[in-house]
Structures are given as structure tokens and as C-alpha cells.
Amino acid sequence: MAVWSVAALGLIASSTASAALVMSSIDVSLTGEGTGKMGITLDHDTVQAGRVSFVVKNDAVTEEHEMLVIKLPKPDAELPYDTTKQRVVEGKVKKLGEASDLKPGTSKTLTLTLAPGTYRLICNVKGHYMAGMSTLVTVTK
């Protein structure tokens, strides 16, 4: 009986370790041209804590974009914005990573380990954040 218990515990530990290795993935589409409406669209906006891969595609025809992942202190937190530079002040936020310099039609994958909380995804190319390139992702336990 003791042998069975040790084997069972090993199986449980192995299953738990395998579950911890599961990675979530979010497909991200960056859109918008020139001075028109721009956006960030996700295939889903909630994932479990752990490793998350953002598969980011610039679906614009002429415009270069980027995607930053910012951890928010609370879900409705506003980001510090420099109106002169028309950009979020990156030095004043908790930026966890970015997929930058995405030319039209190109893709990049950004993989991060995320704790439970709310994260804002933005494009911080001049003027793009205020043109609508912002969305939220919720990470659950």
C-alpha cells in the first residue's frame, strides 16, 4: 500500500508539473491607417496566469505599428500621456515587453509570464494610442 501511495503521489506531481507548462496564446490584430480610426483586436481578452504568447500581426496596409504590454495598478488606471510628443510616457508605467517595428503585413510573437491582474495593450507610435490603439487583457488565477 505504501508503494502505491508513493507512485500515486509521483503521478499527481507529474500531472501538476505538466499543467504548469501549458501556455496561453492570444492572437492580436493591429489596424488603422494615417489619421483615421485605429485599433487593437484580440481573439480573446482573458487568460490564466502563467506564460502567455501574444501573436501580433500588423494588418494595416501602409502604417507601421507596435504593441506594448503594460501592467495596470488597477483596471481603470489612466496612462500618463505627453500631449506634446503624442505618446504614453513609457518611463512612468510598468511595461513588461513589446513587439515593435511591425511593418504592414508582418507578425511577431511576444511571450511573457503574467501574474493575475489587468494589463493594457497599446501602440505607442506617435498619435496611435489616442487614435484608439488600446485594449485590456485580464489575467486570472
Using CA atoms, how far residue 124 sits from 25, 39, 98, in Å, is 22, 12, 10
Residue 101 structural domain? 23-140
Question: Per the domain annotation, does 7 fall within a domain?
Answer: no
Q: How many CA atoms lie within 13 A of 93 on its CB side?
A: 24
CA atoms within 13 A on the CB side of 19: 8
Instruction: Examine residue 122 and state whether it is found in any structural domain, yes or no.
Output: yes
What is the number of structural domains in the chain?
Answer: 1
| CATH code assigned at 100 | 2.60.40.420
Separation CA 141–CA 29 (nearest Å): 25
Q: Is residue 2 part of a domain?
A: no
Q: What is the pLDDT of residues 63-81, one digit of tens each?
A: 999 999 999 999 999 999 9
12 within a domain of the structure (yes/no)? no
Interior CA angle at 74 toward 113 and 127, to 5°? 85
The tens digit of pLDDT for each residue in 90-133 reads 999 999 999 999 999 999 999 999 999 999 999 999 999 999 99
